[in-house]
Chain A
Amino acid sequence: MSDPAIAAQELCKTYAGSTGPVEAVAGVDLTVEAGEFLGLLGPNGAGKSTTIGMLTTLVVPTAGRAQVCGVDVVRQPVEVKRRIGMASQTNTLDRQLTVFENLEFRARYFGMGAGAARRRATELIELLELGDRKDAKVHELSGGQTKRVVIARALAHRPDVLFLDEPTAGIDPQTRHNLWDTLRTLHTEGQTILLTTHDMAEAETLCGRVAIIDHGSILACDEVERLKTGTGAESIVTVTYDGDPAPACATARDLPHVSRVEATEERVRVFTAEADGILGQLATAGAEHGLAIRDASTMRPSLETVFLTMTGREYRE
């Protein structure tokens, strides 16, 4: 069996801060198989960028181990660099070169001949629709264009694993949706991708699996649907009657999968792991006691409710 694209065991990074050591990553365990699209989802300062930094050899771990395609990131950083493409959060483009040259030179650094590198750069310019900006200087690019060039450059040498650190942060919705399409296409073609984001929609739309990270550790890692059902996040069924809902509440409490029932003057709110059929039974129970339904709704758990349940609601940064 081939090595996983990414494997990390107990990966840690502690920085020497001005007010004592700061534990940025506190023991991350992570496995990403080849061909996967994994989202690393976490609030600001959760340790996403530091984790990605260690996996791309830019940050030296203080403890633990990590391998990319079976190659150790600390012992063989050059071999790891051959296998990865990295699109950072900031504009790390070579400001002394044009857009085209940024792509061309990246391809050449990885051993492509001059002609092959120019052809590759042309391909990437087309892929990310940068045709009209190809001779632009880096400082002339808009935020969205910069993000696209940074991603194009990460793809220049056809890496086995693509790392994207908040690729769509701060760009307009059109550009974001176009980028999503491009990333989906890449993934369909077999590209392994690890993406960090704090955008739920992005993680939910793109990623096969999502790892929720906070305070330097991974809190959960699973398929989005299973995260929604498997971590205590529940559906909420709310029914408003035209009278006292006490009889309906009593019925609800006896139903299977119901964990909690809250009642107000006219409204009953049922927290359940299995929402199907609840609404019907609440309607029947109400009718038996002469109660008519005025309003009803079912709120399915979303990645956002899972994320907030796990990471809390206090402000970050």
Chain B
Amino acid sequence: MTATQLQRTSTQPTTMSTLLTFRIMLVREVRVIRREFVSFVLRTIMQPFFFVFVFAYVLPSMAAGEGGAMFVGAGDGPSYSTVLVPGLLASSMLFGGFMAVSMPLIMELSDNNEIEDRVLAPLPVWAVGLEKIVAGALQGLLAAVVVFPALYLVHAEGAAPAIDVANWPLLIVVLLSVSLLASALGLLLGTVIDARKISTIFGVIVVPVTMLGCVYYPWSALETIPWLQVLVLFNPMVYASEGLRATLTSGVGHMDTWAYLLFLVAGTGALTWLAVRSFTRRVRR
């Protein structure tokens, strides 16, 4: 028996070696994230930071002065920063995870077919897709960690967000499924978007998804505009915002637990399946 044959008979079972390769691909992602950490933080934090700065600090501070009422209505309800924290956290996670998968993937699938570098590794093609989802979800969670302190700390005097976590396990389920949902969406769109149309498509998606994603207002408050309250249910951002609103700031009215949880868990499962299938078909011609 030659040395190569010896080596081969002693290789680990396929599942073990697939897991090993999967893990090394995650190690690669971590190395890339670490290298680009500063730009990741800046990119992630800008939009939510300036949003809370203006809407939770500048405007409420003006309201305390003359003419401020034109910006913020007086009332006994939760402070606006309490409404904003889960919404902005959800949008940061959703876009963070989404972009982390879709942007590099679109480049990898373009003319040079760079994806071959990963696809030739000894694991099934579906596992390469799944690895991208897991890596993207990690970046979605990282986005939450980066953004949360800013959301929590930036507010006008006496208008601190009322964070109240009653159910930690539920919060963890929501955080995990929101980040997986984001990266599964990234994988799905990343496999269908043409690299040449990328800026148009993102430009068209980002604004409506955010504006109509219950980021800046709770879903229950839309009851005064019933058609819109139904329409926004097609937007996955709504479930991410409401899930975090229910688990982080229970003082604010939110969607029923079964409703957001059903969408987040079942939707993430279905999207992951669809995205991995789309990826496999795209890669193995």
Contacts and interface: CB of A to CB of B under 8 A. Distances in A.
Contacts of A91: 112, 114
Nearest to B123: A78
A88 B18 CA distance: 24
Nearest to B116: A92
Interface in A68-110: 77-79, 81-82, 84, 86, 88, 90-97, 101-102, 105-106, 108-110
A89 B120 CA distance: 15
A58 B28 contact: no
Given A110-B121, A111-B20, A160-B4, A92 B112 contact: yes
Contacts of B124: 77-78
Nearest to A85: B120
Interface of chain B: mostly helix, strand, loop or mixed: helix
Interface string B1-25: 0001000000110100110110011
Contacts of B113: 88, 90, 92
Contact of B21 (A86, A101, A109): A109
Contacts of A101: 31
Interface string B106-131: 01000111111111111111000000
A285 interface: no
B114 A94 contact: yes
A92 B121 contact: no
B117 A110 contact: no
A96 B32 contact: yes
A53 B111 contact: no
B116 A88 contact: yes
Interface in B228-285: 283-285
Contacts of A90: 111-113
A206 interface: no
A59 interface: yes
A97 B4 contact: no
A204 B60 CA distance: 80
A108 B123 CA distance: 13
Nearest to A60: B284
B208 interface: no
B104 interface: yes
Contacts of B104: 96
B25 A109 contact: yes
Contacts of A51: none
Given A96-B32, A96-B104, A105-B28, A81 B121 contact: yes
Given A96-B104, A111-B11, A86 B120 contact: yes
Contacts of A86: 116, 120
Contacts of B122: 78, 81-82, 109-111
Contacts of B17: 111
Given A56-B120, A109-B21, A92 B114 contact: yes
Nearest to B5: A2
A43 B86 CA distance: 60
A163 B81 CA distance: 59
A312 B284 CA distance: 33
A86 B120 CA distance: 8
A3 B112 CA distance: 34
Nearest to A53: B285
A94 B21 CA distance: 16
A58 B112 contact: no
Given A58-B285, A95-B107, A109 B24 contact: yes
Contacts of A95: 107, 114
Interface in B1-60: 4, 11-12, 14, 17-18, 20-21, 24-25, 27-28, 31-32
Contacts of A105: 24, 28
Tell which of B124, B283, B285 has the most Cβ of chain A within 10 Å: B285
Contact of B117 (A78, A81, A82, A93): A93
Interface string B71-113: 0000000000000000000000000000000001001000111
Tell which of B20, B32, B112, B283 has the most Cβ of chain A within 10 Å: B112
A58 B120 CA distance: 8
A81 to B, nearest CB: 5
Contacts of B284: 57-60
Contacts of A77: 124-125
B47 to A, nearest CB: 24
A40 B125 CA distance: 27
B32 A81 contact: no
A79 B122 CA distance: 7
Interface string A107-136: 011110000000000000000000000000
Nearest to A92: B116
Contacts of A110: 21, 121-122
Given A78-B14, A109-B121, 5 more contacts: A82-B11, A86-B120, A90-B112, A96-B104, A110-B21
A-B CB proximity, top 10 nearest: A109-B121, A92-B116, A108-B24, A90-B112, A96-B32, A94-B117, A81-B122, A82-B122, A109-B21, A59-B285
Interface of A: 15, 53, 56-60, 77-79, 81-82, 84, 86, 88, 90-97, 101-102, 105-106, 108-111, 153, 160
20 contacts: A58-B120, A58-B284, A78-B122, A78-B123, A81-B122, A90-B113, A91-B112, A92-B112, A94-B28, A94-B114, A94-B117, A95-B114, A96-B104, A105-B24, A109-B21, A109-B24, A109-B121, A111-B11, A111-B20, A153-B117
